[in-house]
Protein backbone atom coordinates (compact mmCIF):
# COMPACT_ATOMS: atom_id res chain seq x y z
CA UNK A 1 0.00 0.00 0.00
CA UNK A 2 1.41 3.36 -1.02
CA UNK A 3 0.68 5.98 1.61
CA UNK A 4 1.33 8.81 -0.82
CA UNK A 5 -1.71 7.74 -2.84
CA UNK A 6 -3.95 8.26 0.19
CA UNK A 7 -2.08 11.10 1.94
CA UNK A 8 -4.48 13.89 0.95
CA UNK A 9 -7.47 11.78 1.98
CA UNK A 10 -5.93 10.92 5.35
CA UNK A 11 -5.07 14.56 6.02
CA UNK A 12 -8.59 15.66 5.02
CA UNK A 13 -10.10 13.13 7.44
CA UNK A 14 -7.82 14.23 10.26
CA UNK A 15 -8.53 17.91 9.66
CA UNK A 16 -12.30 17.41 9.43
CA UNK A 17 -12.36 15.21 12.53
CA UNK A 18 -10.04 17.52 14.43
CA UNK A 19 -12.12 20.57 13.61
CA UNK A 20 -15.34 18.87 14.69
CA UNK A 21 -13.63 17.55 17.83
CA UNK A 22 -12.33 21.00 18.74
CA UNK A 23 -15.83 22.44 18.55
CA UNK A 24 -17.30 19.46 20.41
CA UNK A 25 -14.83 19.79 23.27
CA UNK A 26 -15.51 23.49 23.76
CA UNK A 27 -17.29 22.66 27.02
CA UNK A 28 -14.79 19.90 28.01
CA UNK A 29 -17.47 17.22 27.59
CA UNK A 30 -17.90 14.90 24.61
CA UNK A 31 -21.49 13.69 24.28
CA UNK A 32 -22.63 10.83 22.07
CA UNK A 33 -24.16 13.28 19.61
CA UNK A 34 -20.90 15.20 19.35
CA UNK A 35 -18.99 11.95 18.86
CA UNK A 36 -21.31 11.01 16.02
CA UNK A 37 -20.75 14.45 14.48
CA UNK A 38 -16.98 13.92 14.59
CA UNK A 39 -17.33 10.46 13.01
CA UNK A 40 -19.58 11.81 10.25
CA UNK A 41 -17.11 14.61 9.51
CA UNK A 42 -14.32 12.07 9.05
CA UNK A 43 -16.50 9.76 6.95
CA UNK A 44 -17.62 12.71 4.83
CA UNK A 45 -14.02 13.62 4.09
CA UNK A 46 -13.24 10.03 3.16
CA UNK A 47 -16.41 9.88 1.05
CA UNK A 48 -15.10 12.67 -1.15
CA UNK A 49 -12.21 10.39 -2.11
CA UNK A 50 -14.50 7.49 -3.00
CA UNK A 51 -16.73 9.43 -5.41
CA UNK A 52 -15.11 9.63 -8.85
CA UNK A 53 -14.65 12.93 -10.64
CA UNK A 54 -17.15 13.80 -13.34
CA UNK A 55 -16.01 13.23 -16.89
CA UNK A 56 -15.15 16.31 -18.91
CA UNK A 57 -17.66 17.28 -21.56
CA UNK A 58 -17.47 19.86 -24.30
CA UNK A 59 -20.87 21.30 -23.36
CA UNK A 60 -20.63 24.37 -21.13
The whole-chain average pLDDT of the chain stands at: 88
pLDDT value at residue 6: 82
Contacts of residue 21, Cβ cutoff 8 Å, sequence gap at least 6: 30, 38
pLDDT category at 58 given cuts 50, 70, 90 is: low
Query: Torsions phi, psi of 30, nearest 5?
Result: -110, 110
Q: What is the mean pLDDT of residues 17-41?
A: 95
Amino acid sequence: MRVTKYAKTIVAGIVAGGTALTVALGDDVLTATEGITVALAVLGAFGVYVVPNAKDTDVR
